[in-house]
């Protein structure tokens, strides 16, 4: 199998004279707690970072290394995030879209074109391309994936320092068996997404007691 050219989408656009090509990705649609986080990253045309791919395929140590390198070398990085309250109000899919629009607004350089991992954003003020599994096909989306992932993971590590009994540094808020057991034992703290099934089930059981 031929190796995927992670620059293929960027090169096609650069060759058309489209200079500022951004990659966009999200992290945190599945967890039970905390915000969904997005990143909009514009890389220079000569950017090289060997081994960069979908952040979920990288070790935590590698993600931290790549995060620092991307933060130092990217032309522009915008971060967006929507809280658990927004997620509960509009649903996770719509909240993710809002966070993506926010990331574009927070980008110091306005992109000429945005490559987005899977999702379609109808209200953007610039052209965009939705790419299925884009974080393993586009260098810019892969970079955005790392920035979003490390940003959110660091928030979970901070939460773990405050509430170590929940194990946030290990599961990062995802619904693991130990996480569910901690909720059952210690209850809910601020930040939980009350509409997510394990939480809503827990609340229903609590009401029936």
11-39 tens-digit pLDDT: 999 999 999 999 999 999 999 999 999 99
**Stronger pLDDT, 9 or 205, i.e. the higher one:** 9
Q: Whole-number mean pLDDT of the chain?
A: 95
Model pLDDT, residue 208: 62
Alpha carbons 47 and 74: distance in angstroms, whole number:
8
On whether the CB atoms of residues 41 and 148 are closer than 8 A, the answer is no
Using pLDDT thresholds of 50, 70 and 90, give the confidence band for residue 1: very low
Alpha carbons 58 and 61: distance in angstroms, whole number:
8
Using pLDDT thresholds of 50, 70 and 90, give the confidence band for residue 56: confident
Using pLDDT thresholds of 50, 70 and 90, give the confidence band for residue 54: confident
78-95 tens-digit pLDDT: 999 999 999 999 999 999
On whether the CB atoms of residues 138 and 52 are closer than 8 A, the answer is no
113-156 tens-digit pLDDT: 999 999 999 999 999 999 999 999 999 999 999 999 999 999 99
Q: Which CATH homologous superfamily contains domain 8-208?
A: Ribonuclease H-like superfamily/Ribonuclease H (3.30.420.10)
Give percent of the chain with pLDDT exceeding 70.
97
Beta carbons within 10 angstroms of residue 177's beta carbon = 8
Beta carbons within 10 angstroms of residue 168's beta carbon = 26
- CA-based angle 90:93:187, to the nearest 5? 70
As a whole number of Å, the end-to-end CA separation of the chain is 57
H runs (alpha helix) in 137-196: 139-162, 168-171, 177-186
Q: What size, in residues, is the chain?
A: 209
Model pLDDT, residue 2: 45
What separation in angstroms does the CA of 107 have from each of 39, 115, 139, 166, 203? 9, 14, 18, 34, 39
Q: What is the mean pLDDT of residues 64-73?
A: 98
SS3 125: coil
Q: What is the mean pLDDT of residues 50-68?
A: 92
Q: What is the mean pLDDT of residues 184-189?
A: 96
Model pLDDT, residue 206: 76
pTM listed for this prediction: 0.95
Model pLDDT, residue 53: 86
Half-sphere exposure for 159 (CA within 13 Å, toward CB): 21
**Stronger pLDDT, 56 or 10, i.e. the higher one:** 10
Model pLDDT, residue 143: 97
């Amino acid at each position: 199998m031929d190796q995927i050219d992670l620059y293929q989408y960027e090169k096609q656009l650069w060759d058309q004279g489209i200079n500022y090509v951004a990659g966009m990705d999200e992290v945190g649609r599945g967890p039970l707690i905390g915000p969904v986080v997005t990143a909009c990253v514009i890389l220079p045309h000569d950017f090289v970072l060997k081994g960069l791919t979908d952040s979920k395929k990288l070790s935590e140590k590698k993600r931290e290394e790549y995060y620092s390198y991307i933060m130092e070398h990217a032309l522009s990085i915008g971060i967006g995030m929507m809280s658990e309250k927004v997620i509960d109000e509009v649903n996770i899919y719509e909240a993710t879209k809002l966070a993506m629009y926010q990331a574009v607004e927070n980008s110091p350089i306005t992109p000429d074109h945005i490559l987005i991992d899977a999702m379609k954003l109808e209200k953007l003020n610039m052209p965009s391309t939705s790419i299925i599994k884009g974080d393993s096909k586009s260098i810019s989306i892969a970079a955005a994936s790392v920035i979003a992932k490390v940003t959110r993971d660091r928030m979970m590590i901070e939460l773990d320092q405050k509430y170590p009994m929940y194990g946030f540094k290990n599961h990062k808020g995802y619904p693991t068996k130990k996480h569910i057991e901690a909720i059952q034992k210690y209850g809910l703290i601020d930040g939980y997404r009350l509409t997510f099934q394990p939480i809503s089930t827990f609340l229903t059981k609590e009401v029936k007691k």
